[in-house]
Amino acid sequence: MTSIANSIPTIGLGTFGRTGDAGMASILAAFEIGYRHIDTAQSYNTEEPVGEAFRRSGLPREQVFITTKVADTKLDKASFMPSVERSLEALGFDHVDLLLIHWPSQNNAVPFEDYMTELKRAQDLGHTRFIGVSNFPIARLEQTRALLGEGAIVTNQVEIHPYLQAPRLSSYARSIGLPLTAYQPLAQGDVRSDPVLSSIAERHGVTPAAIALAFLMAEGHAVIPASSNAVNLRENMRSVGVRLSDDEMGQIRALNRDERRINPAKSPRWDD
């Protein structure tokens, strides 16, 4: 499977909402289909199902890339590292592959330097192979570079899909060699009924969702679509083999309309 930044598998499984036994079963199905990148978070309550599905899969640990995220309620120095250790206990691992800051602290309630240095310390302690961020605008990425240095983080996980292509953020990220990871890459399922994507999908013999994912990967992003349906899991994975023409890429780029789906009160000031 291709990867970005020589570290993150390009396609993974988002696990928001995949809780309990049903969630564990859907994650195990993803492993059986071929997914090797699983994205979880402290706030999803899916770390335990991810760990249990992994153990049932029988896969070697080194073949699976696990991402989790420190919740914005655990960013202070007293809470940060204990929360990471609880995540590892829930997963049943001695380390994760990628540890992210889930959201920057709202209104700097926790000083930026505090939680970013704790993130780096988690890596130094061996709790994670790589570190990164999520929902960071350009200003926060610049702060991160100034504080931790070039290349310290391997991704910024943000909402990106055909209707929110984040051109300013994407351009900046490319300029510093920082891959983005797209969450909500299927726009909460809306891509499935898009006429442009449907037309392209028919030519390639795949679903509109697979075309949306192929587009995002062609733009240099990793993607973490979520699904509990084995058919959809397989169809999404087929996106890896899709090669879009320049004309098709242009048609999909024209779908951008800055349509953001995830925008809670704690959101930073977005660039796009």
pLDDT tens column, 130-171:
999 999 999 999 999 999 999 999 999 999 999 999 999 999
Task: Name the amino acid, one letter, at 174.
Answer: R
Q: Which residues span the domain enclosing 96?
A: 3-253
Of the pLDDT bands very low, low, confident and very high (cuts 50, 70, 90), residue 21 is: confident
**Residue 113 class from Cβ within 10 Å (0-12 exposed, 13-18 middle, 19+ buried)?**
exposed
Is 262 inside any structural domain? Answer: no
Is 263 inside any structural domain? Answer: no
Is 272 inside any structural domain? Answer: no
**Number of domains present in the structure of the chain:** 1
Is 228 inside any structural domain? Answer: yes
Structure tokens belonging to residue 272: 């796009």
Q: Is 44 a catalytic residue?
A: yes
Is 83 inside any structural domain? Answer: yes
Is 61 inside any structural domain? Answer: yes
Closest to 100 (Cα-Cα) out of 89, 111, 87: 87
pTM for the full predicted model = 0.96
State how far the Cα of 41 lies from the Cα of 36, in Å rounded to an integer: 17
pLDDT over 80 (residue 2): no
pLDDT over 80 (residue 6): no
Is 64 inside any structural domain? Answer: yes
* Pair 66, 93: CB distance under 8 Å: yes
State how far the Cα of 266 lies from the Cα of 268, in Å rounded to an integer: 7
State how far the Cα of 6 lies from the Cα of 65, in Å rounded to an integer: 12
Dump pLDDT digits (tens) for 235-252.
Answer: 999 999 999 999 999 999
Q: What is the pLDDT of residue 1?
A: 58
The secondary structure of 185-254 as a DSSP string is TTGGGGGGG-HHHHHHHHHHTS-HHHHHHHHHHHTT-EE----S-HHHHHHHHGGGG----HHHHHHHHT
Which residues have C-beta within 8 Å of that of residue 239, sequence separation ≥ 6?
11, 206, 209, 210, 211, 212, 213, 214, 217, 223
Dump pLDDT digits (tens) for 179-236.
Answer: 999 999 999 999 999 999 999 999 999 999 999 999 999 999 999 999 999 999 999 9
Of the pLDDT bands very low, low, confident and very high (cuts 50, 70, 90), residue 20 is: confident
Is 50 inside any structural domain? Answer: yes
State how far the Cα of 99 lies from the Cα of 122, in Å rounded to an integer: 8
Task: Name the amino acid, one letter, at 218.
Answer: A
Structure tokens belonging to residue 173: 């990220």
Structure tokens belonging to residue 155: 């991704």
State how far the Cα of 170 lies from the Cα of 220, in Å rounded to an integer: 9
Cα separations in angstroms, 121 against 75, 88, 117, 125, 240: 13, 15, 6, 6, 35
**Candidate list 35, 44, 163, 183, residue with the active-site label:** 44
What's the mean pLDDT in 40-67? Answer: 96
User: Annotation-wise, does 102 bind a ligand?
Assistant: yes
Here the CATH number for the domain that contains residue 116 is: 3.20.20.100
* Pair 41, 66: CB distance under 8 Å: no
